Amino acid sequence: MKKRGYLYIEIKINDFWSLAETLVKNPVFRHRKYHKEYEPEFTPQSRYLPSEESDTIIHASGTRGLPIDISPELLEYFNYRWKKEDVFGKGWLTLAEIETYFEEKDDFYLNPEWFAQYGESNKVRVVFWYVRFDKE
């Protein structure tokens, strides 16, 4: 079984979380005869998380799941795109938590410097999940 992680960056603006990066055109959308009826025209930009880092990243965030105040765009995409039985390791970490964990374990995959460009430590977070894919 193959697995892949997806990571999204959110920033807090006026007490609400929003995607840090703009939505991108969904490449499947323009091929109408191939996509599902409700395929979104735009999707959030993601970064891949290596599968070998899954245990460390999931351990760092605990079993908290997706944030209750997740950005609406990301929640809509998550609910549309993924079969719930294929998703595992849902979690999130603020930049402040990443900084703390990185100090304790300096080979932690999520380097705080990657995310510092988005703002203050308590107003930046990463939301992630892993997906199992059947080998075909």
User: 134 CB contacts (<8 Å, ≥6 apart)?
Assistant: 1, 2
Cβ(7)–Cβ(127) under 8 Å? yes
pLDDT at 9 over 70: yes
Picking from 127, 9, 114, the residue whose alpha carbon sits closest to that of residue 66 is 127
**pLDDT for 82-111, tens place per residue?**
777 788 999 999 999 999 998 888 778 888
Tokens of 8: 């999204």
38 or 86: which carries more pLDDT confidence? Answer: 86
- pTM passes above 0.85: no
% the chain with pLDDT above 70? 84
44 or 34: which carries more pLDDT confidence? Answer: 44
The mean per-residue pLDDT over the stretch 110-132 comes to 91
